[in-house]
Structure 1
């Protein structure tokens, strides 16, 4: 019997698959018509109808809804800009907007759609569905989940503010150097847009760490990686790509912010290789971003195909393997975006091969979806129509993309509307699949069914509008990108595209009307409205109760069952098994009352699990105010006059709010999901917190790697030995050597603190942490004295001193070591907080917080061991 005929994926309804893909319901699974839970102001969480709930909630389902609604707002924002562009392109020339206005519309449309709509829209579903699919009560770190949303919203608000600061960024959504420098985009709003994107990336990193920890550590027993639903697989691979790709973008944005705010010279036209440096950093992120955007859509499409074809995906294991292969390959194709930059033919050929090679796993996935349709019995519902439409659009987008992977053809098509058309067939093709996901999970999220007729009208308008908008761009491919002038002979094709754009916009109005109307008047849905849905979210009420499941989910018997904690703990290796493989802890019991209400849970510490915290919102607000204040900086100082005073005041207030909120959140009594958890391979012996720290440090490796890579790239471009002429003789080895000894000693002090904690010595813990803190201060003081000395060097070669903007050598030295110094400052704040707690007796019965801090501090020390020889010896 083939893999497809003998599924290893557990069925959410606890049944076995029929030959036609159907389900035989059986076992002890929760009935699909189980009553929904009543949510009141329990667990510190206000009821759904309360506005306050949406400001304080940390529940993954609420956060998923917030992400979805906010992303749809940014769809409207970016869509309006797109319609303005299409109206401008009705005829050649700037007839509606001025040239700079058009450039702003193009740039902001790209940035908003790629960053503030596409990925957050997908992660609205991920937040809502993934914990349900893997049998988790919530994400591993609920407050960090809320924080990632509020940082996302704050970044979007900051992006909106940029339009009112003399104009937003106008250098294209790829922000190519040197157009990203103030000399070409001098508006304060340009800097605000860069800072908004930086804040967005910070939120993405927080979310990535959270999802990776959750999926790897909190799956129900029997829910092995091999058995995970395809949507969860797509999210797992997406967040792995996000963890590393967005770290590279974060580095690029920090370097760009340094240039725009502090006057450094990474991407200045006078710096050797500045334009190429940006291209490498941006596209190392940019090409994985294509798959970061498309993978969640692919996972949603796979779930929809399975449900509405009545059978599981053909070649499921190969489908998963193909996704894994694409995720890995996505990091070795970035240079095909740079074929016209003068890189040698051998490198071009290598990246042409990797680019064409990455299309092969996609071929496998496309054929798997096609064969699933051929072997199943299709039900043409609205979700399936959008999923099928997304597949067809992606096929065309993928084929046209292979053209661009060939060096010779890329020479012709690069910079034309061929790229625009290909890009939108892929990216907006992914949106098509996600809209199918919105219709698919709408009953689960709301407990109401959408209007099927309006859904099909929505699809018809969408599909017609989409192809009328983007397909003419292939024909009018000679139109230059990001330019409002084009050959008059192409006018008719652009007019067709403009008509298509407005039809596409109208389709979204139908969608919004349908969903809003159905939210109140739709047919009630209690459990599973889809006959062949096979994942766990459909085995519980719609919408799910606060705690998700009436007990501990388990797939130990090959079907989904729910067990009480006591029963699971006594079953000898069931779903209540402790994460470390030891005895099960008392994770609490969830029972269904006769009225269908689910009672609360008690954690293993006797505390009710928390679902509300105001501090993620406050941190997001503080970050917004702080970065708005910093946007008023130019060349290291704030703009003059009253306006500058406003920016300074906001920076100060934002800093106070941010620091205070972080401390308050650290001191807050908040009890997240407690065990027992089930499957945790390959991290079974690692706690959630430790895995989270490891994942954060992994992204930090890429961040520092990008900074160090920028130094090496700039030095090679200038000349490795000639570089020494850019450095004053006063830049000596001794200060760096002293700091090396200081940091190594401080790491040893952290080890002593851990030993003292294990021995129960309060004074030993306090003394060791104080030693670490004092040595960290000494490091910063020594570094500050060195910088002060170098700033005021007066020699024939450097009559104005050697500061951040003197040359590319000074820029790389100060910014890279400054980033490291910032990490030291963060470590000292944590150490000071821990000293206060240790003095009050903390950490004597739990040394793990000291170990987590030690991981961070040792990493900071190891980074310095790389920076010292690079900047002081070589």
Structure 2
């Protein structure tokens, strides 16, 4: 399947892989989750109208509403809304026809959508997760939750977050490959538009931050579904969760705000008619923030038992990370001072975002000081500060929606309605959040407060409804534009300076009729029929061609990303309900895991059905012939020596390093906390681990041999080497299964104690990687047998080898940790 149905067809949106379509899907879905999370916020703000806690919500429903509101806004609205802009605009801004891996781009969207549906369903499974959006231990495990919420509904929320992080990981690999390897000729990194720069740094942060979150969520999911003991004990579990979560959580602030900054940079330049003052210094400042964001996480843990010198060090890093932001703020101010401002709707929202962010940043300095943090932590001061920063980002992104709306839809909107939207929005924002500074003594996540604070909360509730009304105005304004607005010119803004404004509104399917080039210092379109001479921006050029004069054809449609998303959704939906079965097994074997709900046969059936769907659609995904050719001429510094897929594999493995690093770090942390030499060694003998080490190292050799055979075009040799790799992998899994079964026979299960949980989960994650590698190797053998694959192009064998060698290297670390120490 390669041709796209028309946009009015539902089928179009199920099969599309085109980056602009995926961008529209992200934007519209994120706005839906904005409404979902906003309605929850209005519910609990209405509840807080009175101080005694006798409002419209009970304690449990209030906690669910607050928790789900936070999760939806942080995960399912903020980042995906920015991702929608990035999907639509980044290829246009850098001169690419699409993202490097279009099918994976579609898959990232379907994972995102189905993860959000899973959250919605959780309310109908006994109750959604209610432990706060930060999910602090030990309140995040079944022992401290109501029975049904501890299993089905709460599990569904955690599994939805895992599915969301998988979506993010796929997207980051795609964007990093695209931006680093698919820039138009002559477009160096220094010269890419500021929005693309902001998104590039965002996805680099996402790659490592969300990998840490994925590790934390996987550990939490094993606690909730399989009843392991990571966060159910008093052996440092609260600190462990804090370190893992906030290593993600603080970069997430910049992950959310950087795209908003990029939008502010673009709109300030356009509506002041001036290039951003200190542009290169702003880029350097953003790079510094991106790096430093991983060095400040412990300032969220000032109230824990971490010693004072460490806290002081992190107070210093917190102050240090504010300095580059000062530079960015002054750059925006000086750009206004030196320009001629036009107060359009996009600029008003961007200017409002700058004002709100300054206030949010100043109030955040209070929380960066250890002494003041002792007073403010856990109060509404944090709530107000957090929203003045995060929702300031939303403010800028609404400005971005108005800014690029003519490009995306080909329609103009009413400036009068847009400015009215801003006025109501800005009033509602400050009415809602500023009183929270005054009512700072209110404890967070508590459904009642002192009587003296009632007036501030009532003002905030009024502000919440005013802010909600502003979004109704926005939807009306944009809806009216879509239905009856005047047609937009290709470039409605006089001083816009990025490439997306050089093509029609909305852009054609393949973006460019010629090959974009900046070789002359300005945007031109090269006549691809001869690939020589240039056509000025805005003029017509012939279709792009590959080397040799043959027209390049990129596919745009595939149903299999949707199928993979659906299969994963069904699998996770079933997995979340298996806890009662595990609980019965645990109780029958002496496990003290607390009460669980009665098991339902529906969930095992759904789990099996999900596995069956995934097996089929993944097989078809692998078989599908889908063309996504690399750009023949592009700027690829500093990664010109590798192709797109190899670079993507390296980037993915970099994130997997963080996942395994977090698992190993959790083992080391918990063992040190318990006393290193008081830790009982789970495997009674090192012999099985030693044999498996030799088995895996040998399998690395057979993978290298397979690559050599593929390079020589030796089909029998390739089949033999891949077959040997599969046999060695199965041998590893067989020895591991024998080792585990021996422990089970002695009553040593994963729920028997913390050391058992850590051993089974860590080696189990590695075993899952081995199993996935075996499936890939088996599929490669099928391809060699049926279509003589890899004999003319051995690169897929090399890519598989990179993954397999990584899995082997991880075992080299796990063997001494679990078998020898």
Q: TM-score range by the shorter chain?
A: over 0.9
1:735 paired residue among 679, 688, 698:
688
Question: Which 5+ residue runs of structure 2 have no aligned equivalent?
Answer: 585-595
In the alignment, is the contact (CA less than 8 A) between 2:528 and 2:543 conserved in 1?
no
In the alignment, is the contact (CA less than 8 A) between 1:638 and 1:648 conserved in 2?
no
Give the superposition deviation at 1:643.
5.9
**Number of equivalences:** 801
2:809 paired residue among 837, 846, 862:
862
In the alignment, is the contact (CA less than 8 A) between 1:140 and 1:210 conserved in 2?
yes
Counterpart of 2:469 in structure 1 is 506
Q: Are 1:253 and 2:192 matched, yes or no?
A: no
Counterpart of 2:79 in structure 1 is 119
Give the superposition deviation at 1:382.
0.2
Give the superposition deviation at 1:608.
2.5
Counterpart of 1:106 in structure 2 is 66
2:28 paired residue among 52, 69, 79:
69
d(CA) in 1 for partners of 2:283, 2:114 = 35
Counterpart of 1:846 in structure 2 is 793
Counterpart of 1:798 in structure 2 is none
Q: Which segment is superposed worse, 447-456 or 839-848? A: 839-848
Counterpart of 1:138 in structure 2 is 98
2:109 paired residue among 137, 149, 167:
149
In the alignment, is the contact (CA less than 8 A) between 2:719 and 2:784 conserved in 1?
yes
Give the superposition deviation at 1:209.
0.2
Question: SS of the residue aligned with 1:194?
Answer: helix
In the alignment, is the contact (CA less than 8 A) between 2:528 and 2:544 conserved in 1?
no
Give the superposition deviation at 1:757.
1.0
Counterpart of 2:744 in structure 1 is 791
Q: Deviations over 1:295-339 (max 9, x none)?
A: 000000100000000001100000000000000000000000000
1:649 paired residue among 588, 596, 605:
605
Question: SS of the residue aligned with 1:721?
Answer: helix
In the alignment, is the contact (CA less than 8 A) between 2:276 and 2:335 conserved in 1?
yes
In the alignment, is the contact (CA less than 8 A) between 1:262 and 1:636 conserved in 2?
no
Give the superposition deviation at 1:637.
2.5
1:623 paired residue among 556, 564, 568:
568
d(CA) in 2 for partners of 1:226, 1:60 = 24
Counterpart of 1:94 in structure 2 is 54
Q: Are 1:804 and 2:750 matched, yes or no?
A: yes
Q: Are 1:695 and 2:651 matched, yes or no?
A: yes
Q: Are 1:52 and 2:11 matched, yes or no?
A: yes
Give the superposition deviation at 1:642.
9.2
d(CA) in 2 for partners of 1:601, 1:47 = 25
Give the superposition deviation at 1:791.
1.6
d(CA) in 1 for partners of 2:194, 2:54 = 47
In the alignment, is the contact (CA less than 8 A) between 1:731 and 1:790 conserved in 2?
no
**What are the residue-to-residue correspondences of 1:592-741 with 2, within 5 Å?**
592=540, 608-634=553-579, 637=582, 644-724=600-680, 727=681, 731-741=684-694
Give the superposition deviation at 1:663.
1.1
d(CA) in 1 for partners of 2:751, 2:411 = 59
In the alignment, is the contact (CA less than 8 A) between 1:249 and 1:282 conserved in 2?
yes
In the alignment, is the contact (CA less than 8 A) between 1:330 and 1:358 conserved in 2?
yes
1:167 paired residue among 116, 124, 127:
127
Give the superposition deviation at 1:601.
6.4
Counterpart of 2:782 in structure 1 is 836
Question: SS of the residue aligned with 1:266?
Answer: coil
d(CA) in 2 for partners of 1:857, 1:496 = 59
In the alignment, is the contact (CA less than 8 A) between 2:529 and 2:543 conserved in 1?
no
In the alignment, is the contact (CA less than 8 A) between 1:60 and 1:139 conserved in 2?
yes
In the alignment, is the contact (CA less than 8 A) between 2:703 and 2:801 conserved in 1?
yes
Q: Deviations over 1:597-618 (max 9, x none)?
A: x868679786631000000111
Label 1:513 to 1:673 Cα distance change in 2 as closer, same or farther (>3 A). farther
Q: Are 1:431 and 2:394 matched, yes or no?
A: yes
Question: SS of the residue aligned with 2:601?
Answer: helix
In the alignment, is the contact (CA less than 8 A) between 2:66 and 2:132 conserved in 1?
yes
1:525 paired residue among 483, 488, 493:
488
Give the superposition deviation at 1:520.
1.6
Counterpart of 2:293 in structure 1 is 330
**What are the residue-to-residue correspondences of 1:150-229 with 2, within 5 Å?**
150-185=110-145, 186=147, 187=149, 188-229=152-193
d(CA) in 2 for partners of 1:335, 1:353 = 11
Question: SS of the residue aligned with 1:553?
Answer: strand
In the alignment, is the contact (CA less than 8 A) between 1:638 and 1:647 conserved in 2?
no
In the alignment, is the contact (CA less than 8 A) between 1:602 and 1:609 conserved in 2?
no
Label 1:677 to 1:646 Cα distance change in 2 as closer, same or farther (>3 A). farther
Counterpart of 1:779 in structure 2 is 732
Give the superposition deviation at 1:790.
1.1
In the alignment, is the contact (CA less than 8 A) between 1:603 and 1:675 conserved in 2?
no
Q: Are 1:762 and 2:718 matched, yes or no?
A: no
1:237 paired residue among 196, 201, 205:
201
Give the superposition deviation at 1:415.
0.4
Question: SS of the residue aligned with 1:170?
Answer: coil
Q: Deviations over 1:98-146 (max 9, x none)?
A: 1000000010000000000000001100000000000000000000000
Question: SS of the residue aligned with 2:144?
Answer: coil
Counterpart of 1:580 in structure 2 is none
Give the superposition deviation at 1:674.
3.1
- Give RMSD over aligned pairs: 1.7
Label 1:94 to 1:732 Cα distance change in 2 as closer, same or farther (>3 A). farther
Instruction: Tell me the TM-score normalised to structure 2 length.
Output: 0.96
Give the superposition deviation at 1:43.
5.0
Q: Deviations over 1:8-53 (max 9, x none)?
A: xxxxxxxxxxxxxxxxxxxxxxxxxxxxxxxxxx951011121210
Question: SS of the residue aligned with 2:676?
Answer: coil
d(CA) in 2 for partners of 1:287, 1:542 = 38
In the alignment, is the contact (CA less than 8 A) between 2:107 and 2:562 conserved in 1?
yes
In the alignment, is the contact (CA less than 8 A) between 2:22 and 2:106 conserved in 1?
yes
Counterpart of 1:372 in structure 2 is 335
**What are the residue-to-residue correspondences of 1:2-81 with 2, within 5 Å?**
43-81=2-40
In the alignment, is the contact (CA less than 8 A) between 1:314 and 1:369 conserved in 2?
yes
2:381 paired residue among 412, 418, 443:
418
d(CA) in 1 for partners of 2:597, 2:418 = 55
Counterpart of 1:579 in structure 2 is none
d(CA) in 1 for partners of 2:114, 2:95 = 31
Q: Are 1:551 and 2:504 matched, yes or no?
A: no
Question: SS of the residue aligned with 2:530?
Answer: helix
Give the superposition deviation at 1:626.
0.4
**What are the residue-to-residue correspondences of 1:314-393 with 2, within 5 Å?**
314-393=277-356
In the alignment, is the contact (CA less than 8 A) between 2:194 and 2:266 conserved in 1?
yes
d(CA) in 1 for partners of 2:598, 2:157 = 22
Counterpart of 2:440 in structure 1 is 477
In the alignment, is the contact (CA less than 8 A) between 1:294 and 1:430 conserved in 2?
yes
Q: Deviations over 1:38-91 (max 9, x none)?
A: xxxx95101112121011000000000000000000000000000011101101
d(CA) in 1 for partners of 2:724, 2:23 = 44
